[in-house]
Amino acid sequence: MKTVNRFSLLHHWILTGLILTAISPGISRAQAQEMSDETSAPISAISNPKKNSDETPEKKAAPTTPLKNFSQAINNVIFDDALLLEGFTRSYKEHSMETLLIMIQDETLDDIKVAAAVRAFREKYALTIFSKEKQDAIAILLRQLNRTDSAFVEEEILHSVCLMDRYKYFNQLMPRLIQKLDYYNDTVNDSAYAAINQIIEKGNNRAREARVVFNTLRKVLFLSRRRLAKITEPSKRLSQKLEILKWSIKILGSQELKRLPKEVLNLL
């Protein structure tokens, strides 16, 4: 039984290394070699159980540090949503628009891959198509928006559709995108902040759009005013909201400050 467990553990390490190599092109050869060197000690100990059993307890404990470092490196790469999303997006940009739209509708794909397909479509094709082709793509995105329960996919679709037809969908979708600033996952949160800024930058500082942003943030901040009263230094997420709020006030005029809770005025 012990022999089976040892070989199962060895197989797990080898399989993990292959997964790490396959999905993490950003890891350098030197880093990969370092991981290999760190894991060589525990693997050799498994292959020579008799020699290992003769060693003192102090020597047996030595391999725990390399194992911990190796596990930490795996967790940092495999479970880094931002890195995964970026890696899949870079790979999917090689596909045609038709292939990406099919992938977006594929319910068998993982959420992170669907989100990457939407991002690849937006960055490569969304702003270069027009007329019926654009309307067909928007229809596909909106259909998936109504079906998905993934915040990653939802954020990417909201971002894409707002850029593709801001006049028709800004009022409807921007409030939902702003709400993602409070999402617990940092990748979704940061992506939403970047999306809002890109949409603003590509606009013409329209008062209609600024009003939508201001009213949405005003409601959000009013709901949390009791908690804001205890804050002296804004957190990262609160700072993001305040920066976007300042943009809307700059467009609408300083008279809008009177409509904000006093707790927000102190932070501004």
Q: pLDDT per residue over 189-203, tens digit each?
A: 999 999 999 999 999
Average pLDDT of the residues in 30-47: 46
Residue 4: which pLDDT band, with cuts at 50, 70 and 90?
A: very low
Residue 40 falls within a domain, yes or no?
A: no
Residue 1: which pLDDT band, with cuts at 50, 70 and 90?
A: very low
Q: Quick one: 146 and 118 in the same domain?
A: yes
Residue 9 falls within a domain, yes or no?
A: yes
The last residue of a domain, from among 203, 221, 250: 203
Percentage of the chain with pLDDT > 70? Answer: 71
Would you say the C-alpha torsion 185, 190, 193, 196 has a positive or negative sign?
negative
Q: Quick one: 169 and 247 in the same domain?
A: no
Domain ranges, residue 143:
93-203
Q: Quick one: 264 and 220 in the same domain?
A: yes
Q: Quick one: 132 and 196 in the same domain?
A: yes
Query: How confident is the model at residue 232, as a pLDDT?
Result: 85
Q: Quick one: 191 and 216 in the same domain?
A: no
Residue 54 falls within a domain, yes or no?
A: no
Distance CA 196, CA 44 (A): 52
Q: pLDDT per residue over 247-266, tens digit each?
A: 999 999 999 999 999 999 88
Residue 210 falls within a domain, yes or no?
A: yes
Query: Residues 76-112, buried b or exposed e (16+ Cβ, 10 A)?
Result: ebeeeeebbbebbbeebbebebeebbebbeeeebeeb
Query: Does the structure show a pLDDT above 80 at 20?
Result: no
Chain-wide mean pLDDT for the chain?
82
Q: Quick one: 164 and 219 in the same domain?
A: no
Q: If we measure between CA atoms, which residue out of 118, 66, 116, 69 comes closest to residue 90?
A: 116
Average pLDDT of the residues in 101-120: 97
Q: Quick one: 109 and 197 in the same domain?
A: yes
Q: Quick one: 214 and 197 in the same domain?
A: no
Query: How confident is the model at residue 268, as a pLDDT?
Result: 81
Q: Quick one: 198 and 157 in the same domain?
A: yes
The last residue of a domain, from among 178, 203, 228: 203
User: Where are the extended beta strands (E) located within 93-251?
Assistant: none
Average pLDDT of the residues in 2-16: 47
Residue 243 falls within a domain, yes or no?
A: yes
Residue 148 falls within a domain, yes or no?
A: yes
Residue 113 falls within a domain, yes or no?
A: yes
Looking at per-residue pLDDT, the higher value among 3 and 140 belongs to 140
Residue 42 falls within a domain, yes or no?
A: no
Report how many domains make up the chain: 3
Query: Does the structure show a pLDDT above 90 at 236?
Result: yes
The last residue of a domain, from among 79, 104, 123: 79
Query: How confident is the model at residue 111, as a pLDDT?
Result: 96
Q: Quick one: 149 and 190 in the same domain?
A: yes
| Amino acid identity at 6 | R
Q: Quick one: 110 and 169 in the same domain?
A: yes
Q: Quick one: 189 and 214 in the same domain?
A: no
Query: Does the structure show a pLDDT above 50 at 21?
Result: no
Query: How confident is the model at residue 78, as a pLDDT?
Result: 58
